[in-house]
């Protein structure tokens, strides 16, 4: 993939989202709705073309009442898309927000106003990898926050790099 670590570059605000109540498929649309409501664009990164395709399908039909405008390679002009889904190190829609899923840590956050690192608390390897990313990003001087789901699925801030 020729991937570069996404923690290289200028300081960025990076929020870690620890999934405990919901799977990515439920949490991602909610977080993307917030990004769009704030008037920002997002690029969502994942680890494989197959997973990018799965997330593309998800955003078309995650509820009966709603869908998120988006596209991925081969199905839309990137520059016109508020959400771009990819398995590559790219930002073709000029996104303000980088959303890293499933440890796909290969974009530099310096070009983004905010980064969301979403990881699954039910997968021990994902939790350990997120801890390693946190340590590297903290040591590089980035502004980090750690959010965890409570029993109802709401996000609660548990830590930030200024306090850890």
Domain locations in the chain as residue ranges: 13-160
DSSP sequence for 37-54: HTT--EEEE-SSHHHHHH
- Which of the four CATH numbers 3.40.718.10, 3.40.50.150, 3.40.630.10, 3.40.50.10110 does domain 13-160 have? 3.40.50.10110
Q: What is the mean pLDDT of the chain?
A: 86
pLDDT of residue 106: 60
Choose between 72 and 76: higher pLDDT.
72
Q: How far apart are CA 57 and CA 53, in angstroms?
A: 6
Q: How far apart are CA 147 and CA 149, in angstroms?
A: 7
Residue 100, pLDDT above cutoff 80: yes
Distances (CA, A) of 146 to 1, 13, 15, 76: 28, 11, 6, 33
pLDDT of residue 70: 93
pLDDT digit string, tens, across residues 9-20: 456 789 999 999
Give percent of the chain with pLDDT exceeding 90: 55
């Amino acid at each position: 993939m020729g991937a570069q670590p996404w923690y290289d570059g200028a300081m960025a605000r990076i929020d870690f989202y620890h999934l405990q109540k919901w799977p990515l498929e439920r949490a991602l649309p909610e977080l993307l709705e917030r990004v769009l409501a704030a008037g920002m664009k997002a690029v969502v990164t994942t680890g494989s073309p197959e997973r990018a395709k799965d997330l593309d399908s998800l955003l078309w039909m995650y509820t009966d009442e709603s869908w998120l405008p988006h596209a991925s390679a081969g199905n839309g002009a990137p520059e016109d898309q508020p959400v771009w889904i990819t398995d590559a190190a790219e930002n073709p829609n000029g996104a303000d927000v980088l959303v890293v899923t499933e440890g796909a840590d290969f974009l530099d956050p310096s070009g983004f106003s905010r980064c969301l690192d979403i990881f699954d608390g039910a997968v021990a390897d994902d939790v350990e990898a997120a801890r390693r990313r946190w340590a590297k990003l903290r040591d590089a001087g980035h502004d980090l926050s750690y959010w965890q789901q409570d029993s109802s699925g709401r996000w609660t801030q548990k830590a930030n790099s200024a306090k850890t």
